[in-house]
Amino acid sequence: MVSLKTALLTLASVVAVNADWHVAFTYADGGQITSHGFVNSGCVNFSKTNSDIVTVYFENNINTDTLELYHQQGCKALAYTAGPGSSNVPDQRYFSYRVY
Ligand SMILES: *[C@@H]1O[C@H](CO)[C@@H](O)[C@H](O)[C@H]1NC(C)=O
């Protein structure tokens, strides 16, 4: 019989391996946008562009280690490349991002 401890450890590792990546974008006006996913995000246009982004938080997972911010929609004009963790990006308008 499988012990409860073994079952819980197995469950914990399955959860970790299947964990999503998470991003949080904080704006100068206090607004925040969050998103998450499991595989590459593809190019995502920001739904909020009326304020500068000042901080990004990126929690990566097994499929991802990079977050890119772009000055234009459609992931054109690469502006900033961030790794996992919290980054103080240049306070500017960003119009799209990609996680991969
Ligand atoms: C993002 O915006 C660009 C330019 O307006 C557009 O071509 C593209 O389809 C948009 N991407 C998504 C995922 O909506």
Centre of ligand 1 to C-alpha 96, Å, is 9
Q: From atom 9 of ligand 1, which residue's Cα is the shortest distance away?
A: 74
Q: Which two tokens stand for residue 85?
A: 């963790």
CB 20 within 8 A of CB 38: yes
Count of all residues that appear for the chain in the document: 100
pLDDT of 61 > 60? The answer is yes
Q: From atom 3 of ligand 1, which residue's Cα is the shortest distance away?
A: 74
Which residues share a beta bridge with 67?
A: 82, 99
Full 3-state SS string of 24-84: EEEECCCCEEEEEECCCCEEEECCCCCCCEEEEEEECCCCCCCEEEEEECCCEEEEEEECC
The string of pLDDT tens digits covering residues 3-51 is: 666 665 655 555 556 799 999 999 999 999 999 999 999 999 999 999 9
What CATH code is assigned to 19-99?
Answer: 2.60.20.10
Residue spans of the domains in the chain: they are 19-99
